[in-house]
Chain A
Amino acid sequence: MDQPIKKGRFGVHGGQYVPETLMNELLKLEQAYTQAMEDAEFRQELNRLLAEYAGRPSLLYHAQKMSADLGGPQIYLKREDLNHTGSHKINNVLGQVLLAKRMGKTRVIAETGAGQHGVATATAAALLGLECVIFMGKEDVERQLLNVYRMELLGATVIPVTTGTMTLKDAVNETMREWTRRVEDTLYVLGSVMGPHPFPTMVRDFQSVIGSETRAQILKETGSLPAAVLACVGGGSNAMGIFYPFIQDEKVRLIGCEAAGQGIETEKHAATIAKGSLGVFHGMKSYFCQDEYGQIAPVYSISAGLDYPGIGPEHAHLYDSGRAEYRPATDEEAVQAFEYLARTEGIICAIESAHAVAQLMKMAKEFTARDSVVICLSGRGDKDVAAIARYRGRNIYE
């Protein structure tokens, strides 16, 4: 494997493409993060919160019915959906909000798409006593009123973003703008393995607890490494978290599942690896959905959490180097997988995670019954139930 050639780089990807106003703050953050991770007390406090508050380790569940039914590998589900706040997002926000507090910040800000990262950030801020402001595209605010109310219950202020396409990418834009207005007392708690250095590295490290646990659990359960690990990819934090501890295990296939929306042959998708090209946006060099002039393209997915025009720089590098594969799954495939998992295993997963389930359903026959395969179930699906019902023509609103 190629190691990063310079600070914050993954091959050609990554970097720190931000306005000068933010640079000193990013350097401070990098330093604070490095020191914190070397500090046994900080790690102990984070591990305590992960165990006692978030409910880690999360289970690795052998989905035997599904394995038998698909007739391919033994399927194991990494149950991040069982974490407090219902997704893997809590792993990262506990780390970052603890770090914010350590840096003497009194306020955190964050972007959110569907609201999972916003809810997680508001939760950690409530627990650790920091002021919290969440930026959310106006379109998403209207689609996710329950999550808006949840964040408010947790004491956060939710600011609807009315610029651009009024979705996740615009929420990121506005959170970055807010950070340039007020860096002194505020940390931007970024929700994925994206943005300028040190965020992609820091978020990956905080999320790699998923992969470390998975690796130990599967070895204990089966005595060998899995044939493949699958995870959905928007920015890519749950995928990076579960992939990272397996990168050196070259026989383990790493498969990221991106949102193909209505199909990668249409314009309505968010499949950055399949359809994107190299660019520089949101502080990083990576692959983006964009036009010939470098204008960022509007993207689409039924899953608000995957509805992002870019991908984290380390994923871009894993793709370039061939270490990881990235496959698109459509809305329809994801919805079918969502329904299938509910019927077969009694688990209602997030529509994001359903993209990874869908991918395995498509490729199950590539494996034998002696192989094991892990799917990261990044979140639970309560938030998606009404939208899936509507997708199937049942007029249910939250």
Chain B
Amino acid sequence: MNRIAQAFEANRPFIGFITGGDPSVAKTEEFILEMIAGGADIIEIGIPFSDPIAEGPVIQEANLRALGNGANVDKLFDMVASLRLKTQTPLLFMTYLNPVFRYGYERFFTRCRDCGLDGIIIPDLPYEERQEVEEAASRYGITLISMVAPTSKDRIKQIVEQAQGFIYTVSSMGVTGVRSNLDGSIGELVESIKKETQVPVAVGFGISNPQHARAVAAFADGVIVGSALVNIAAIHGEKAGPLLRQYVQEMKAAMAEA
């Protein structure tokens, strides 16, 4: 069983996202270890991109800061290799396709395997285009995560047939970002996915506080949080580590109540 499957086997994972290289690659490594110490079960590392079309302002700005501070995918591979010596927590990349494509699929996924990365999420790679990436990813044992959106409807069946690791369910329309209220229909969406597959279903987009985490943990197999964590890093910069740990602890406590 791979590390991602183990994380879902053990409990309902808290999946925390952080933009790689904001404010620096060294700090990102520290933040990830703090999040893991706070109880994060799976970590998504955002590869910064100049034009992140699925992101709201919080992660967009983090991307630009990271690029401005010299982050690039080679440095993030090194960071993952270093983390892998310290933790067995599953580590995923979240990236737009172009940085992967430009690096070369073979070369990219070889490095993913060599540094101990577990999986990858590519928001601009829908089912129709998945094949060109999946071939290389699977050859190197990297799980390519599928996404389902509130608009997926009759596409759910074909998407989940190809799904590995877990299904990233987008809670609501639009881009990533902190929302005060979650879409009420997300429970139904998760239920309709679960009817079609045994693959665990995690929910992300807009989840930012313990109330959300508790509500989502009641019906989903995992809870994904991005912008709220990135926002803590944005506000507190280099000193964000302990606050990220504390935030994850609070979210985990709320999930345990579900």
Contact = CB atoms under 8 A, between A and B. Distances in A.
B174 A181 contact: yes
Interface in A144-197: 163-164, 169-170, 173, 176-177, 180-183
B51 A281 contact: yes
A278 B132 CA distance: 15
Interface of B: 49-51, 53-54, 56-57, 60, 64, 67, 72-73, 97-103, 123-129, 147-155, 159, 170, 173-175
A395 interface: no
Given A280-B101, A294-B99, 10 more contacts: A19-B124, A23-B126, A164-B60, A183-B151, A183-B173, A277-B102, A279-B101, A281-B98, A283-B124, A293-B73
Residue of B50, B54, B60, B127 ringed by the most chain A CB atoms within 10 A: B50
Contacts of B124: 17-19, 280, 283
Contacts of B56: 177
Contact of A177 (B101, B154, B155, B174): B174
A180 B51 CA distance: 15
Interface in A263-311: 277-283, 285, 288, 290, 292-296
A278 B100 CA distance: 12
Contacts of B98: 279-281, 288, 290, 294, 296
A137 interface: no
Given A20-B148, A293-B72, A294-B101, A169 B51 contact: yes
Nearest to A197: B128
A23 B175 contact: no
B119 to A, nearest CB: 17
Given A177-B174, A181-B173, A280-B97, A17 B129 contact: yes
A292 B170 contact: no
B36 to A, nearest CB: 27
Interface in A30-44: none
B175 A181 contact: yes
A21 B101 contact: no
Given A24-B155, A173-B51, A180 B173 contact: yes
A13 B127 CA distance: 17
Contact of B54 (A19, A169, A183, A294): A19
A25 interface: yes
A180 B150 CA distance: 11
A20 B129 CA distance: 11
Contacts of B57: 163
Given A15-B129, A176-B53, A283-B124, A294 B103 contact: yes
Q: Which of B101, B148, B150, B170 counts the most A-chain CB atoms under 10 A from its CB?
A: B101
A24 B159 CA distance: 12
A87 interface: no
Q: How large is the interface on A (under 10, 10 to 19, 20 to 34, 35 or more residues)?
A: 35 or more
Contact of A23 (B60, B73, B155): B155
A19 B50 CA distance: 17
A16 interface: yes
Interface of A: 15-25, 163-164, 169-170, 173, 176-177, 180-183, 277-283, 285, 288, 290, 292-296
Closest 10 CB pairs of A and B: A294-B102, A181-B174, A21-B149, A294-B99, A294-B98, A295-B50, A20-B149, A296-B50, A280-B97, A20-B147
A24 B158 CA distance: 13
Contacts of B159: 20
B150 A17 contact: no
Given A19-B149, A20-B170, A21-B173, A164 B50 contact: yes
Nearest to B154: A24
B51 A24 contact: no
A183 B53 CA distance: 15
B102 A23 contact: no
A281 B51 CA distance: 9
A296 B99 CA distance: 10
Contacts of B150: 21
A16 B129 contact: yes
B50 to A, nearest CB: 4
B99 A182 contact: no
B206 to A, nearest CB: 12
B51 A16 contact: no
Contacts of B127: 20, 23
Given A279-B98, A294-B103, A295-B67, A19 B53 contact: yes
Contacts of A24: 151-155
Contacts of A15: 128-129
Given A17-B124, A20-B149, A177 B53 contact: yes
6 contacts: A17-B129, A23-B128, A180-B175, A278-B101, A285-B101, A293-B72
Most buried by A among B57, B60, B100, B127: B60
A282 B170 CA distance: 20
B60 A19 contact: no
A300 to B, nearest CB: 15
A183 B174 CA distance: 9
A92 B121 CA distance: 35
B170 A21 contact: yes
Given A20-B170, A21-B170, A163 B60 contact: yes
A164 B64 contact: yes
B10 to A, nearest CB: 28
Given A16-B129, A23-B127, A290-B98, A296 B51 contact: yes
A293 B102 contact: yes
Contact of A19 (B49, B73, B128, B147): B147
A25 B147 CA distance: 16
